[in-house]
Amino acid sequence: MLFAGGAAIFFGMSGITGKMASACGGNPISLPFYRNLLSLPMLYLVLKIKKVDLSITKRECFGLFWLGLLGGFITSVLMYTSYTMVSVGLTTCAHFSFPVILALIYGVFFKEKFSRTKILALVLGVAGMLFFIEADAHIESGGVAVALMSGVTYAIYLIVMDKMGLKTMNGYKLSFYCCVFSSLGLGTYGLIRGYSFGGVLSSGALVYLLATAVLISVLGSAMIPYAIRSVGATVTGIMGVLEPVTSVILGVLILSEPFGLRNAIGATLVLSAAVMLGLEKEEEL
């Protein structure tokens, strides 16, 4: 439980460092590019220490390419874009709608049956999203929409991992190759579209990106496997609700971000939906 909660807290803290990196300079392409690039040597060192075989098959390479595209590229770009438009608390809470989106996709496209619990969770999740959009409409409703889209792409990321059999791969190995493909994709896209990569190097953004890489790749990712082996994936997933809670609290305390009653209601509804989906899986097991 301690490892599961600790991982969620570190992931929540990474949203703050990501926001601070955005404030220092750079753009939605260069910031995730350097974050993924900085993660590579740390992940490689961990893999070497743990003596993990880095070889992959052609099928795994294809799947990892899509995971890198969906996770470290598209999802990261959407979240860094949202950071520039709305508070980190709202971004993280809206992004955390992905369990609800995941359940909806499995139900519609993979014909997974909807139980009463799932239906109620979906209703709560959608209601929570509407509270987010209305609550932030006076600031930038597009920012919440972008954060919600990051939840959609992350849900698809998890589906690809599931359907292509990559969920059994060593977590550090999977993360390493995802960072490789994400860096290549972001770098290539950024150069073609003319994005600047030098602004990050001449500002304090690189320090915050390094902190983000450590929080995600070294601390958070290191705790997840131990948590799953000890208390199971369901409990680990439920403890993940501490991630948006951490982002909200630190956003208010450190960045003086607003978080009113409507925001709190929306966050509560979305997180309740995520917990309900997790508990239902536990009952099924």
Name which of 93-97, 132-136, 187-191, 213-217 the model is least confident about.
132-136
Residue 237: predicted pLDDT: 64
Residue 63 one-letter amino acid: G
Residue 133: predicted pLDDT: 59
Residue 68: predicted pLDDT: 92
pTM for the full predicted model: 0.81
Please say if the pLDDT value at position 137 is more than 50: no
CB atoms within 10 A of CB 66: 17
CB atoms within 10 A of CB 260: 9
- Stronger pLDDT, 20 or 1, i.e. the higher one: 20
Structure tokens at 35: 């974050």
Helix extents (H) in the chain: 2-24, 30-49, 58-68, 76-83, 88-95, 98-109, 116-135, 137-163, 171-193, 198-201, 205-213, 221-231, 233-239, 242-255, 261-284
Please say if the pLDDT value at position 274 is more than 80: no
Please say if the pLDDT value at position 283 is more than 60: no
Please say if the pLDDT value at position 285 is more than 50: no
> Directed axis angle between helix 137-163 and helix 88-95, to 10°?
40
Structure confidence at residue 73 as a pLDDT band (50, 70, 90): very high
**20-30 mean pLDDT:** 86
* DSSP tag of 26: -
- HSE-up (13 A, CA, CB side) for residue 2: 0
Structure confidence at residue 61 as a pLDDT band (50, 70, 90): very high
**How far is Cα of residue 41 from the mean position of the Cα atoms in its chain?**
21
Q: Which of 54-63, 80-89, 259-268 has the highest mean pLDDT?
A: 54-63
Q: Rounded CA gap, 2 and 239, in Å?
A: 9
Per-residue pLDDT tens over the stretch 193-233: 999 888 787 677 888 999 988 898 778 877 877 776 777 65
- Stronger pLDDT, 62 or 11, i.e. the higher one: 62
Name which of 71-80, 153-162, 177-186, 255-264 the model is least confident about.
255-264
Structure tokens at 69: 């595209």
Residue 176: predicted pLDDT: 92
**How far is Cα of residue 212 from the mean position of the Cα atoms in its chain?**
12
Cβ-based neighbours of 28, under 8 Å, separated by 6 or more: 77, 80, 81, 84
**Which has the closest alpha carbon to 98: 142, 72, 68, 129?**
129
- HSE-up (13 A, CA, CB side) for residue 157: 24
Please say if the pLDDT value at position 67 is more than 70: yes
